[in-house]
Amino acid sequence: MAKEQTLSELSKPADVKTVLAQQDKDFDCTPCRLMGSAAFTGLGIYSYASGMSQLKKRELEILTSGTRFGLGARRASIYVMSASLVGLGVYRLTN
């Protein structure tokens, strides 16, 4: 437990270095890191599975539309987006 402070101690401004060190120490808890990491990683996995599923369903439509963004570019964008989200999940867990 923290010791009780007197009125004179409370009226003095706090030392900035001490306050910043305390905030840095208490900044992020482990459950917060785990939840954030799971959210980013899950979103990355879901976006990959959902994106590839939708791409497979609309493959014929995309090929016949004559768009300059074919299947390769769309697959690459799904890979990049989902890999970025999984990377953010790993980053959130480790930092």
- What is the residue-averaged pLDDT of the chain? 88
| DSSP state, residue 27 | S
Task: Give the pLDDT confidence score for residue 2 in this predicted structure.
Answer: 62
25 within 8 A of 60, measured Cβ to Cβ: no
With a pLDDT cut of 90, the percent of the chain lying above it is 46
Please give the model's pTM, rounded to 2 decimal places: 0.68
Q: What are 2-34's pLDDT values in tens digits? A: 678 788 877 888 788 888 887 777 677 888 889
The kind and range of the H/E element at 70 are none
The mean per-residue pLDDT over the stretch 44-57 comes to: 96
pLDDT at residue 46, as a whole number: 98
Q: How many CB atoms lie within 10 A of CB 14?
A: 11
